[in-house]
Every structure is written in structure tokens, then in C-alpha cells.
Amino acid sequence: MASPPEGIAGKAGASDGSRARKGVVIRDIEQLQRKKQAMRAAGRDTVQVIADFDRTLTKFAVNGKPGQSCHMLLNLGHPELEERGRQLTAKYLPLETDPHLPYEEKFKYMVEWWTAAHELLLESGITRADVSQSVAAANTAFRDGFSDTLALLEAHGVPLLIFSAGLADVIEELLHQQLPRSFSNVRVVSNRMQFDESGRLVAFPGRIIHVLNKNEHSLELAAAEEQAASTSDDGKEFVRNVEQGSATQVLTMAKKGDNNSSDTVTHGTITAAEEVAEVRSRTNVILLGDHLGDLGMSEGVSISNQIAVGFLNHDAERQLELYTQAFDVVVLDDGPMDVVIEQLKDIFS
């Protein structure tokens, strides 16, 4: 990682309640203080954390190499399929990052990319066991302090809502394998894999979640899909449909199985509509992302206050000004979750 540009440490002054450190930039300390005071006054039951997953909750670099994303870490077992995956990235990544490409056209290309990537996974014949093995062997790790962040949020009854254009099953398996215990306050909204009775991947049901639509509007889609799928008053039919993969944009309670349990994720017994209502009522948002586009994840929420924390993992010299204009707090050099924890403690104090 490149060293922070000169003077960055001095910008993160101690007057906001946090200690100054190298690698953190706070855009406007007084404004940040006002936002935290407003959140504190409103109460923790109005607060939620919305986060991107890849390279936001996970590290940008692991063991001196680029960390693998949800899609990248899956071992397809076929070199030719993996090469086709690289070709897709070479074709579509420049389109994703092209600032001059109209949104409607870019949206169409992202659907094409995700559809093609999912078709490769289906063609590979990957199984549920392969997902678990791929995660175990992956060059992927959560940021230092992530588990402490979850524990702090859980202790205060604050949910973490993960929006990802990746794969829900991979995210849940990473939570299961890498966290020290279960956390009941984590919800995952991502693309869900459907497996047959033998454990083989057979479908990606529902609407595709990609980089341009992974926001809180997905919650409304979840509620709509529930209404269409549920046939019982107690919601058990909907839970069963979700477990079978018939609803993709679902809010799942990511719970690591206790002891040696293989039950990685337990779906909440409350309905998606009830989850939507809860999230909508939490109008004070801590948003975590590593791209400027992640700022759109809170669309659909009537926001009273938002503190946006951006993880600028690389190319700080070129992008720092853009990030400091967009985010309240910028973490450089693939840094830990420390500054997030400090802001939360201030709000909960």
C-alpha cells in the first residue's frame, strides 16, 4: 500500500472525540460532531449500519496479494471457464468505470456481465461443498476490528445491513468460517444460489443484484417477492421458499452455527415486510463503502443523518480529493475498522 500523502494525519484531529492517527481523513470535524450529536439524541433504535462487502468489510490486500471477491474466490475447477471469467472482467470493467457512459447503457451492461458470470458458475457444476472449500482456501479476510464492530452493534441492538453485488451464500460462509461466534444483527442482501438435492448449483432465482442496483430498493423487492410467494399467515411458507432460493433479494439473519453445527445461516422468522418496516424506521445511517457509487446504497431510506465512511484502499494521491468530498471520514491504506468503532461509541455514549 502507498503511504498517505503528507499532512493526512494532522487532518484527523482529536477535537472530534477520536485520537489523531495516520491514515484517516475527516472532512469536517465540526459537521461530524453535529451528526453524531443528532444521532445520540435520537437514540440507538433509530440507527443502522449499511455496508458494502467486498473490499469494505474485507481487506483489499491479504498476504501481500489482492484479496479475492465473492465471485473471484470460487474455484470453478476448469481453467477455460476461469479464463472466460477474466475475459468478462476485461470487457465489462472498463464499461463499469467509464464516467462518460450513460447510466441506462451502463445498467444494461452490468446485467449482461452478472448474467454471464452466473452462467459460468452454472456451467461449472459447482456444489455447496465446493463453496465451503473455496471459502476455506480463499485469499480473503475481514478487516481488523470487524468482529469487534459487530459485537458493539449487537450489544446496542443496531443492525448491520450488508448490500452486495456478490453472492449471499459466499458471504454467509465467510461469516461462518472466519468470525469467532454468531451475530444475530447481520442481514445480507445479495445474489442467492439455488442448489438441488445433491448440492449442485442449478439456478440464481430472482432479480440480479449488481453494482448499480444494490441499494435499499432491494428491500422493497424482497417484500414484494414475499407477498407473491407466501401462502400462510405465519410466514413459514415464505421462509421455506427463501431457503429453496425462490426469493433472491432477501434479508437473511447471518448466524454462525454454534459449536460444530453446520447450520451456517438461520433465516429470520419475521417477514421481509417487517424487516423493511424496521429498516425504514432507522433513519440515522452509518454507511460504509469503498467506491463512490456505494453512497447510493441508502437510497430508499428517509435519512435524518448519515455518516459516510469511505475506504480508499489504493491510488490515494489521485482519488483522495474525490473521496474527502464525498465521505465524512476516509480510511486510507486498507486500514482497520477502528475509526468506525470510535464513531459508534461516540453515538452510543
DSSP state of 258: S
CA pair distance 136, 102, nearest whole angstrom: 39
Asked if 193 contacts 167 with a C-beta cutoff of 8 angstroms, the reply is yes
User: What residues contact residue 104 under an 8 Å CB cut-off, 6+ apart?
Assistant: none
3-state DSSP call for residue 43?
Answer: coil
CA pair distance 264, 174, nearest whole angstrom: 10
CA pair distance 65, 24, nearest whole angstrom: 23
Looking up cell 452490468 gives 110
**pLDDT score recorded for residue 180:** 94
With respect to CATH, is domain 8-67+142-348 assigned 3.40.390.10? no
**pLDDT score recorded for residue 121:** 95
The model's pTM is 0.81
Tell me what percent of the chain is helix, strand and coil, each rounded to the nearest 5.
45, 15, 40
Give me the tens of pLDDT residue by residue for the chain, a chain 349 residues long: 333 333 344 343 443 443 446 799 999 999 999 999 999 999 999 999 999 999 999 999 999 999 999 998 998 878 899 899 999 999 999 998 888 899 899 999 999 999 999 999 999 999 999 999 999 999 999 999 999 999 999 999 999 999 999 999 999 999 999 999 999 999 898 999 999 999 999 999 888 899 888 775 555 555 555 455 444 444 434 333 333 333 333 333 333 333 333 333 333 344 556 667 777 789 999 999 999 889 988 887 789 999 999 999 988 888 899 999 999 999 999 999 999 999 999 999 9
Give the CA radius of gyration of the chain.
Answer: 20
Q: Identity (one letter) of the amino acid at 123?
A: E
Beta bridge partners of 48: 285
177 HSE (CA, 13 A, CB side): 17
**pLDDT score recorded for residue 149:** 98
Extents of the domains making up the chain: 8-67+142-348
